[in-house]
Structure 1
Amino acid sequence: MAFENLQPKEVFKYFEEICNIPHGSGNLQKISDYLVSFAKERNFEVIQDKELNVIIKAPGSKGYEDKEPVILQGHMDMVAVKEDGCDIDMTKEGLRCRTDGEYVWAEGTSLGGDDGIAVAYCLAILDSDDIPHPPLEVVITTNEETGMFGAQAIDLSMLKSKKLINIDNEEEGHFIVSCAGGARFYTEFDLGNSIKKDGICLEVKVSGLLGGHSGEMIIKGRGNANVLLARTLVEAMDDAKNETEVALISINGGVADNAIPSSSVAKVVVDKAYVDTFKASVQNTLSDVKGELEVKDPNVDITVTECGEGSFDAYDFHNAKRVLGAMISFPDGVQAMSSSVEGLVETSLNLGIVKTEGNVVTTEQSVRSSVESAKKILIRKLETIATVNGGVINVTGQYPGWKYRQHSELRDHMVKVYKDMYGVEPKVEAIHAGLECGLFSEKIQGLDSISIGPDMQDIHSPKEKLSVKSAGNVFEYLKAVLK
């Protein structure tokens, strides 16, 4: 076991067990069943619904039986991404966990600390005989990362608590009390009938970008591989002497709509006489992009690799340029900053996924805003661009923002406990990322919520790390809050 010497031992025991079970969004049967088995083995009341959400109800510890119950909440799915060349099948294999005693990470892939650490905390508390706590209602949801679909579908009518501690934050000492609402925006573009195109097949790849969570990292202005690749191809097509010189075979990039894509790849077929011009155009675009991102994303690279000569099924210049033109016309990144909270992004979006299946190119975007009307008008802009370019749209996974609560007993209690433990007050703040607290607040009238968590770096990317010390600190704090 990679984490057997880490403290708190019980937390990292369960965290490693979770890491050993594939649990990317949409692949959750095994992790959900694991949670059900855990509860049944300890004779806890457990509910597993058709969306695979799991609710575990545990009585209060000795002396705490009659205390007001508390909801502990997190999500079981992770954004499953890996480095180029990594041979792990994340749909079937566990993670290759590593630690240096200071951090834990997964070799070649994301770690899933978001939100595996929440699940590990809950299991460690439920499994303990010596952690004082009130009656607990542990709610572990599914597919949070792809649209909060579990939280949208879950029935919470059997819960008694009016206080919820969400453990889906990535910065110790920062208490989240409000967040943005969001939606998923899908567009399908029909490329028309394929043609037989003779020439040289070229693979064009954007790589080396930092990526990251599209809520928390969007303010950093990092490069979006899908947008950059579409731009590269459009500029290379602009340099063609005529429309017969280049055709598109496919374009694919990104792994989740809410993860800034760090790589993207396309295949095109070009006339043999146009290869050098095409490569030169790509180098010109790379030079421009490097200049634009030299501080924000300095390792960006765009490469062209020849992958054969012959006759290929491809899509003509005009249809390809129509789709690529829509991709570079879509707004992307930060659209507005908050006028009431300094440094907070108000409205943003991220072109997280582009994929080609047959003659259809699908794009998937994550839209966020703390202002509902701003979210609606941004979606309207996307609809206009998509439909003008022949796209068919679908908007899913809409979730509400989480409004700041002026009077909060839970917040006051948790701030006091933190100050008593550490001698300083925590930072109470709003974030641009989405949290499930808004959906829970719609389902439970009068719900008092707060979100906490340990320090993590570069979530939703293969560079993700979880601080061992911070994980321990937050666990001790959580126990003090429950006591």
Structure 2
Amino acid sequence: MGVLDNLEPKSVFHFFEEITQIPHGSNNVQMISDYLVKFAKDRNLEYIQDETRNVIIFGEASEGYEDREPIILQGHMDMVAVHDADYDIDMATQPLKPVTDGDKIWAEGTSLGGDDGIAVAYCLALLDSKTIPHPRLEVVITTNEETGMDGAFAIDLSPLKGRKLINIDSETEGVLLTSCAGGARFYATLPVSKVSRSGMLYDIEVSGLLGGHSGTEIIKEHGNANILLGRILAAVSDKNDISLVSINGGVADNAIPVNAKATIVVPEDTSKEAALKAVKDLEAIVKSELEIKDPGVKFTVTAREKGTFDCLDNASMKNVYKLILSLPNGIQAMSASVPGLVETSLNLGVIVSSDNEVTLEYAVRSSVDSSKDALLDRLVYITEAFGAKAKITSSYPGWPFKSDSKLREHMIEVFKRMYGREPRIEALHAGVECGLFGQKLEGLDCISIGPDMEGVHTTSEKLSVASAARTFEYLCEVLK
């Protein structure tokens, strides 16, 4: 018996649980891609697996639907794989442990991967069914969406005949997503010099934050652990002779970081009490600032050992925290045309330190391409002013609103018939792959849907069981 076997629809949750047992974090997609190929082979379904490990599976039309236009169903196979700091798991090789109370599904100590495992589960349930009526299905499951939409960039869509695409990568039931922001990834790599210093080694850690998806939840202005760690280093080094050994934080540039840690050396002739007091004083200030937005924020200082350690020299340390605090972060502009919609933002998702450099990794988003480009220019200018190297990758287009959408009209009508009300028509600050697909398939008509999820890209991620069932029922009715 699987953990989710008693949930309905059984086929959807059966495949969803199977997916949780296959490690499939971004850039670790070989196993999940091969699982999809085996699924197709076992059912004698036509399929394509490309060099990027994207998979396309074709399902023949049900009886009586042979003359209908094919429908493209689309999701991505990778997940943001994160775990609690004290949870012992290697997410590259070990399965998740799904848990349910019948109302929600989550994973013990880790993210769940409902984004976008539920899309894959829906598609497999449809392809596996002998009773759900539908036109010919062209199921496209891409790779590494969470780290730059690599699969969508690389995929060859010329075998597809459909020009109506239902993307299943949204997180609110009853919403038809009709446009989204474009984005890019930005890297600022700062060279550092090292010296040897003796003293007491301390770890300073920021934790207790809520985090979240840097697109959908940036509007909540949760605390960013990386930014807060930069503030700590600035506050402690202002009046104390300390040295920085290392600084690391976050797990993905598109996840608002909930943890960050710096290791410092406090020399014997420096007042440890004064240095620690600077951390505690700033913690009180930050707690006040985030009292409503992030009430669980916590700064922890842990003494480790005495000795002599390789550290950043003073100029390098100051360059690190000054660069962190000089580059913009968070909401940059709100939309003038769509009330409540973030237009432009960025998120310092990851800080990584190595022997001779420190790299800051950002997810940049905007629904206005020129604003995105202007923000990227600003990042480059500031980064280069610090003597650091700037790099932009994975720039992807926004998905513009289509005024004449037959697919939208159809899906609105079906929703009204099923639920007695109209769905919400929305734009999204986060990115989905529809913009790239629209560039590859002329005249493509797209809508994005999904069930209720919360805390995606974090260990608090939960999927609503009832919403997942209703959304699948709606999808089936749309296809019928």
* More displaced stretch, 54-63 vs 331-340: 54-63
2:384 matches 1:387 = yes
In the TM superposition, what whole-angstrom CA distance separates every residue of 1:63-122 from its partner, at most 9, and x where no partner exists?
A: 112210000000000000111101011111110100000000001110000000000000
Which residue pairs with 1:111 in the alignment? 112
Which residue pairs with 1:131 in the alignment? 132
- 1:93, 1:415 → 2: CA distance? 41
2:363 matches 1:363 = no
Identity of aligned residues (%): 57
2:257 matches 1:261 = yes
Which residue pairs with 1:91 in the alignment? 92
3-state secondary structure, aligned to 2:135: coil
- 1:239, 1:308 → 2: CA distance? 23
Which residue pairs with 1:160 in the alignment? 161
2:8 matches 1:12 = no
2:214 matches 1:214 = yes
Which residue pairs with 2:230 in the alignment? 230
Give the CA deviation at 1:62: 1.3
Which residue pairs with 2:283 in the alignment? 286
- Give the aligned residue type for 2:235: E
Give the CA deviation at 1:274: 2.7
- 2:278, 2:151 → 1: CA distance? 46
- Give the aligned residue type for 1:5: N
- Give the aligned residue type for 1:143: N
- 2:235, 2:429 → 1: CA distance? 33
- Give the aligned residue type for 1:293: L
2:467 matches 1:470 = yes
Give the CA deviation at 1:282: 0.5
Which residue pairs with 1:271 in the alignment? 267
- 1:187, 1:48 → 2: CA distance? 35
Give unpaired runs (5+ residues) of structure 1.
none
Root mean square deviation of aligned Cα = 0.7
Which residue pairs with 1:435 in the alignment? 432
Runs of 4+ in 1 over 3 A off after TM superposition: none
Which residue pairs with 2:26 in the alignment? 25
Give the CA deviation at 1:59: 1.0
- 2:455, 2:406 → 1: CA distance? 32
Give the CA deviation at 1:384: 1.2
2:305 matches 1:308 = yes
In the TM superposition, what whole-angstrom CA distance separates every residue of 1:310-348 from its partner, at most 9, and x where no partner exists?
A: 101111111111011101111100010000000000000
- Give the aligned residue type for 1:249: V
- 2:468, 2:422 → 1: CA distance? 19
Instruction: Give the 5 Å matches for 1:371-410.
Output: 371-410=368-407
- 1:215, 1:138 → 2: CA distance? 25
Which residue pairs with 1:329 in the alignment? 326
In the TM superposition, what whole-angstrom CA distance separates every residue of 1:135-166 from its partner, at most 9, and x where no partner exists?
A: 01000000000111110111101110000000
- Give the aligned residue type for 2:246: S
3-state secondary structure, aligned to 1:361: strand
3-state secondary structure, aligned to 1:145: helix
- Give the aligned residue type for 1:469: A
2:448 matches 1:451 = yes
Which residue pairs with 1:81 in the alignment? 82
User: How many pairs are equivalent?
Assistant: 478
- For 1:425, which of 422, 442, 445 is the aligned residue? 422
Query: Contact between 1:323 and 1:389, CA under 8 Å: does it hold in 2?
Result: no
Query: Contact between 1:346 and 1:432, CA under 8 Å: does it hold in 2?
Result: yes
- 1:155, 1:21 → 2: CA distance? 26
Which residue pairs with 1:202 in the alignment? 202
